[in-house]
Chain A
């Protein structure tokens, strides 16, 4: 559950350049608190870059991003404690146990009772029984579950998921979809990139398609995300087939 309500995000004319390549071309977008937004598009379309900018992992070359709690703007230096992220990689230390990983990140986030918080976070992801095992011994699906537990540890107001369903079996994807839905219902804002149709998209309230760093389709807040998701799935399938 978000510790202090969902965040509103506002991207204004965001551009990101990597050397000669433009990864994002003037993206303007407002995401309201409690929205669950799916970013779709093929590889290199700018989904991950947009998520990284939202996570403060990289700065936009041009334009800006603002965060709001209600109508109050939050300074960028204060926003990190309210963001959880699951990336392409697990963001976990292989030499540490599941519990040690979570305790370490709980301490970095300044949470009280890190050990208690870690134990609590392991329960819903079904890893309580493996708390003292080192991550190196985990399957891909278990690592992904632990990664999700890490992202939810501090009760984020904004959850960023970069193809978080990758590596999860259908049951795991179903669980992730339900977890996202329950987070969204508690007011947490979710921004996720997905690829193809999967169970996590059941929670989506809005879908945005990126192509070449630009928004080409946006179902809008309150619109029907399925049209964009289906279109994206058809295009992805077409690209894979060709």
Chain B
């Protein structure tokens, strides 16, 4: 079976199980909304401050969402040892990671798209005129978040203190993504809006490097 076919089968399973239970999406959306609202009340930013600090707070909220959502990506496979069932199948082990990465990317993007209007209202930032550019930054940053998070979720799921381990592993590694995404978002929301090719290229390179590394070590990551 080809990598793409196996990935799509696993992706379909991930989407079906999540949209049937809605546990993960529901809790993550509520959590991130609370974070964004609390940030807004705590800082009470003016419009110019929002343009300067808002993107950082937004991406921090996405990072929290990621570490919450990605935690269960592989933990769920431990309930009935279904990861062993996936590994018993005659498929490329990377397809297990890839299917989960794509699913996590879509879940995170959905959370972000829901959160964006709330952010725009609370922080008095006009996102509609720059929506296309903003979505490009969101997509590149979220690919990095989902790819890294899925890989570390696989590592953490096999360890003791796994709930604590994922944020400890994930947050330092994601610092470059956080910085690049924040800087790119500051540019897009700036006056005048400017899409920074430097930060976009940095994000794209991070994504490519991490996806390649995951593809190379995927088999070993999933082993006991």
Contact = CB atoms under 8 A, between A and B. Distances in A.
A105 B82 CA distance: 11
Contacts, number: 70
B21 A91 contact: no
A91 B223 CA distance: 16
26 contacts: A52-B224, A55-B84, A55-B88, A58-B224, A59-B223, A87-B81, A89-B84, A91-B81, A91-B82, A91-B84, A91-B85, A91-B88, A93-B82, A95-B17, A95-B21, A96-B13, A104-B9, A104-B13, A108-B1, A108-B6, A108-B9, A108-B86, A108-B90, A110-B1, A110-B90, A150-B85
A92 interface: yes
A15 interface: no
B161 interface: no
Interface stretch (A4-12, A78-86, A182-190, A205-213): A78-86
B171 interface: no
Size bracket, chain B contacts: 20 to 34
Contact of B90 (A59, A93, A109, A150): A109
A94 interface: yes
Interface of A: 52, 55-59, 78, 80-81, 83, 85, 87-96, 100, 104-105, 107-110, 150
Interface in B57-112: 79-82, 84-91
A80 B21 contact: no
Contacts of B9: 104, 107-108
B80 A91 contact: yes
Contacts of B89: 80, 105, 108-109
B82 to A, nearest CB: 6
B2 to A, nearest CB: 10
Nearest to B95: A108
B90 A81 contact: yes
A104 B88 CA distance: 13
A176 B216 CA distance: 41
A92 B77 CA distance: 9
B80 A93 contact: yes
Contacts of B21: 95
Contacts of B90: 78, 80-81, 108-110
B17 A93 contact: yes
Report which residue of A78, A81, A95, A100 has the largest number of chain B beta carbons within 10 angstroms of its beta carbon: A95
A22 to B, nearest CB: 16
